């Protein structure tokens, strides 16, 4: 099941990239997507069952616009501080408790934090996230801005 | 047609602005970690804006689809790269620069 799904997605990806419909291209596309699916289908679909995965995917798509808006806001803030003659920055290192069970949620939070300018995730382990922030306001933004709760909501109550 | 070109120009201009600001930030910021901030991230928004501008210029086509894939790729790869550089520095014991009041931890 996961093999066929991966092969199908890989073949659609091939078509999107090549946009060639001569038999030669289609046949080599089928061959390579089957090969890739054989090698990586267990990684690509993962352990969570398909239903949980799809629900999380939709929650994730609802999260993306909010994240984009945060990226724009904090980018403007960092740009202002970069160009400001006095350069009002106050680098800080903070630690956040790790409240997630799935690796996907940890990756999502770490990447979201790094994408919003002003904060970089330095280290993630089972207990905490270590974050470097370029200003104290940015550090407080991570703690108070609701990103942690939003990622937690994407993860939901399911265990895998 | 005219309006679309203006929008494309605006996207490209603002995108270039963010990339230039990121470059200035790399020079101006005081230490390793703070320099990572503009280098890794203002770039991301700048590139996304430039590529979005090109997508609008191109309209609905395969080229737009590929540009969109590049944007998604950058949004996944760029934080991963920044993170691993920061982690390498942290493990090697690079001390973060602090202002006069000192950072909280």
**Between A104 and B20, residue with greater pLDDT:** B20
pLDDT digits (tens, 9 = 90+) for A33-46: 999 888 887 777 66
Residue A91 is predicted with a pLDDT of 82
**What pLDDT does residue A31 have?**
92
Domain residue extents for chain A: 2-45, 50-155
The ranges assigned to domains in chain B are: 2-92
Interface-testing mutation among A9, A96, A120, A134, with chain B (most B C-beta atoms within 10 A)? A120
Distances (CA, A) of B88 to A31, A87, B32, B84, B99: 39, 26, 11, 6, 23
B100 and A CB contact within 8 Å: no
Neighbours of A58 (CB within 10 A): 10
- Closest approach of chain B CAs to the CA of A60, in angstroms? 14
How confident is the prediction for chain B on average, in pLDDT?
83
Mean pLDDT by 10 residues, chain B (105 residues): 87 91 85 81 84 89 88 86 86 75 46
pLDDT of residue B104: 42
Nearest CA in chain B to A83: B21
**Full strand arrangement of the beta sheet holding A128-133:** A92-97, A128-133, A119-124
Give the pLDDT score at B103: 44
pTM of the model: 0.79
pLDDT in the model for residue B12: 93
CATH class of A50-155: alpha beta
CA nearest to A73 within chain B: B45
* pLDDT tens for each residue of A35-88: 988 888 777 766 666 777 788 888 888 888 888 888 888 888 888 888 888 777
């Amino acid at each position: 099941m996961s093999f066929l799904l991966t092969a199908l997605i890989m073949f659609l990806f091939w078509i999107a990239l090549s946009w060639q419909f001569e038999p030669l291209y289609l046949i080599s596309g089928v061959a390579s997507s089957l090969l890739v699916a054989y090698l990586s289908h267990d990684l690509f679909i993962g352990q969570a069952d398909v239903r949980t995965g799809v629900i999380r995917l939709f929650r994730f798509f609802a999260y993306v616009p909010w994240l984009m808006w945060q990226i724009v806001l904090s980018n403007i803030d960092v740009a202002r501080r970069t160009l400001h003659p006095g350069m009002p920055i106050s680098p800080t290192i903070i630690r956040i408790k790790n409240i997630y069970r799935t690796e996907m949620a940890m990756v999502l939070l770490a990447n979201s934090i790094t994408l919003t300018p002003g904060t970089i995730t330095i280290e993630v382990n089972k207990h905490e996230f270590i974050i470097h922030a370029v200003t104290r306001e940015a550090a407080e933004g991570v703690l108070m801005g609701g990103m942690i709760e939003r990622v937690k909501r994407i993860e939901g109550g399911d265990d895998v | 047609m005219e309006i679309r070109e203006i929008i494309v120009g605006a996207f490209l201009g603002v995108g270039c602005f963010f990339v230039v600001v990121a470059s200035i930030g790399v020079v101006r910021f005081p230490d390793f970690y703070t320099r990572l901030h503009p280098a890794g991230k203002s770039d991301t928004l700048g590139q996304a804006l430039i590529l979005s501008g090109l997508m609008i210029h191109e309209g609905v086509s395969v080229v737009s689809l590929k540009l969109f894939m590049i944007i998604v790729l950058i949004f996944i790869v760029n934080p991963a790269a920044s993170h691993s550089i920061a982690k390498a520095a942290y493990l090697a014991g690079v001390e973060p620069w602090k202002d006069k009041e000192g950072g909280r931890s």
